A and B are shown apart, each in its own frame.
Chain A
Amino acid sequence: GAVVSQHPSRVICKSGTSVKIECRSLDFQATTMFWYRQFPKQSLMLMATSNEGSKATYEQGVEKDKFLINHASLTLSTLTVTSAHPEDSSFYICSARGEKRKYGNTIYFGEGSWLTVV
């Protein structure tokens, strides 16, 4: 089956610094990747949708200058949290979708990344 790998699984950074999270599709080409934020015992809140080679589409209320998303290739998307603050501490999780002919509408999730800003 399709595998999505996310790195790092846990990261601690100082307030004011930037941190990058990577999302890779290991055995398929991800035409679309999604980035979510998940608070404890809450749902997956979509932050942005990115298609390879084009700018990400951000959900309402998500600051695009703070959460930089780059989908440079069909197997890699990155989320950079810039000038991080303690309130940015959360679980960030990506998902990817492959070619519709082969994978249909199924999206595959990464393992998630716990970000703690101190």
Chain B
Amino acid sequence: GENVEQHPSTLSVQEGDSAVIKCTYSDSASNYFPWYKQELGKRPQLIIDIRSNVGEKKDQRIAVTLNKTAKHFSLHITETQPEDSAVYFCAASIRDIPTFGRGTSLIVHP
């Protein structure tokens, strides 16, 4: 089955800095890559996603890039704010079934 690796497990940045979270996947059949944000004690929420026919997608301060050849994709958050602090999960989907990475705990210090 699909295997998704996510790094780093913890990321600490100063407010205003950028944050980058990277994921790799193993199965080239994966064609949909969502990113979820899970705040403490709350449900995961979709923040951005990308399909395999697109290399980059941006939504305000958040962007995702996909390199199909290398089988890796990344989440970029610019101008980080304390409210960005949460656990972020990447996922790779095959036949509409997502496999999640282990999560990255992002801490933004004011």
* A residues apposed to B, CB below 8 Å: 4, 32, 34, 41-44, 46, 49, 93, 97, 105-112
Report whether A109 and B34 are in contact in the complex, using a CB–CB cutoff of 8 Å: no
Q: Is the interface of A mostly helix, strand, loop or mixed?
A: strand
Measured between alpha carbons, how far is A107 from B46 in the docked complex, in Å? 8
* B residues apposed to A, CB below 8 Å: 6, 32, 34, 36, 42-46, 49, 89, 93, 96-103, 105
Question: Which of B6, B42, B43, B100 has the most A CB atoms < 10 Å from its CB?
Answer: B43
Nearest chain A residue, comparing its CB with the CB of B98: A107
B44: chain A residues within 8 A (beta carbon): 44, 93, 109
A sample of 13 cross-chain residue pairs with beta-carbon separation below 8 angstroms, ordered by A number, consists of A41-B105, A42-B102, A42-B103, A43-B6, A43-B89, A43-B103, A44-B89, A46-B100, A97-B96, A105-B34, A106-B34, A107-B98, A111-B43
Measured between alpha carbons, how far is A34 from B101 in the docked complex, in Å? 16
Given A43-B102, A44-B89, A106-B34, CB of A93 within 8 Å of CB of B43: yes
Other contacts beyond A4-B43, A49-B97: 13, CB < 8 A: A41-B105, A42-B103, A43-B6, A46-B99, A93-B43, A97-B96, A105-B93, A106-B46, A109-B44, A109-B45, A110-B43, A111-B42, A112-B43
Nearest chain A residue, comparing its CB with the CB of B6: A43
Measured between alpha carbons, how far is A97 from B105 in the docked complex, in Å? 26
Question: Which of A34, A44, A109 has the most B CB atoms < 10 Å from its CB?
Answer: A44
A49: chain B residues within 8 A (beta carbon): 97
A97: chain B residues within 8 A (beta carbon): 96
Minimum Cβ distance to chain B for residue A28 (Å): 14
Minimum Cβ distance to chain B for residue A48 (Å): 11
Report whether B96 and A44 are in contact in the complex, using a CB–CB cutoff of 8 Å: no
B98: chain A residues within 8 A (beta carbon): 46, 107
Question: Which of B42, B44, B93 has the most A CB atoms < 10 Å from its CB?
Answer: B44
Nearest chain B residue, comparing its CB with the CB of A107: B98
B96: chain A residues within 8 A (beta carbon): 32, 97, 105
Minimum Cβ distance to chain B for residue A42 (Å): 6
